[in-house]
Amino acid sequence: MILKTASFADLEAVWDILQAAIAQRKEDGSTQWQDGYPNSKTVVDDFAKGYSYVLVENEVVVAYAAIIFGEEPTYNDLQGEWLSHSDYVVVHRVATAPEYKGKGIATLLFEKIEALSISKNVFSIKVDTNFDNFPMLKILKKLGYTYCGEIVVRGAPRKAFEKLLK
């Protein structure tokens, strides 16, 4: 599988994956992504800004993430302490195609994001998630991300994590 910058040709597949993830969060009883976010404008903006990345197997999009090499303003208001104050990568809107759930795809996606970050000489990844996003929390723990505190996103608290890469 390869991680690549998404093209507008991938937009429909990405939107389908995100819609399925939104429905799954609701089915799981989570409040995350139940407020009209992410929406089509968010996704189109990700594409336009070059933030959209897809994990592809045999030309099929199996996972999506917005990967931002730059600052996330909400991270300046962390109630807690980041591990570092150097350049970092932000990972948002992680979603896996439903037919690939339970196959380690999200873990592989994060491993590829880590390799991409290192290739660009950025050695910190920051990510946040809802308190009840247990699949994401499990992945972050498994991959050695450190809980650093809380931020507020659209009026709701989120757990914030960082991983320093070697």
DSSP 80-105: E--S--S--EEEEEEEE-GGGTTTTH
Mind listing the pLDDT tens digit of every residue in the chain (166 residues)? 999 999 999 999 999 999 999 999 899 888 788 787 898 999 999 999 999 999 999 999 999 999 999 999 999 999 999 999 999 999 999 999 999 999 999 999 999 999 999 999 999 999 999 999 999 999 999 999 999 999 998 888 999 999 999 8
Secondary element (H or E) of residue 134: helix 134-142
Q: What is residue 37's predicted lDDT score, i.e. its pLDDT?
A: 84
Q: What is residue 22's predicted lDDT score, i.e. its pLDDT?
A: 93
Half-sphere exposure of 111 toward its Cβ, with a 13 Å CA cutoff? Answer: 9
Q: What is residue 107's predicted lDDT score, i.e. its pLDDT?
A: 96
Q: What is residue 7's predicted lDDT score, i.e. its pLDDT?
A: 94
Q: What is residue 33's predicted lDDT score, i.e. its pLDDT?
A: 82
Give the Cα separation of 151 and 135 in Å (integer): 19
Pairing of strands 89-96, 52-57: unpaired
DSSP state of 9: G
Q: Where are the domains of the chain?
A: 1-162
Q: What is the crossing angle of helices 11-27 and 40-49, to 10°?
A: 130
Longest dimension (CA), the chain: 42
Of the candidates 128, 105, 109, the one whose C-alpha atom is nearest the C-alpha of residue 117 is 109
* 127 in Cβ contact with 140 (< 8 Å): yes
Of the candidates 101, 98, 165, the one whose C-alpha atom is nearest the C-alpha of residue 139 is 101
The CATH T-level fold of domain 1-162 is: Aminopeptidase (3.40.630)
Q: What are phi and psi of 128, to 5 degrees?
A: -130, 155
Q: What is residue 36's predicted lDDT score, i.e. its pLDDT?
A: 77
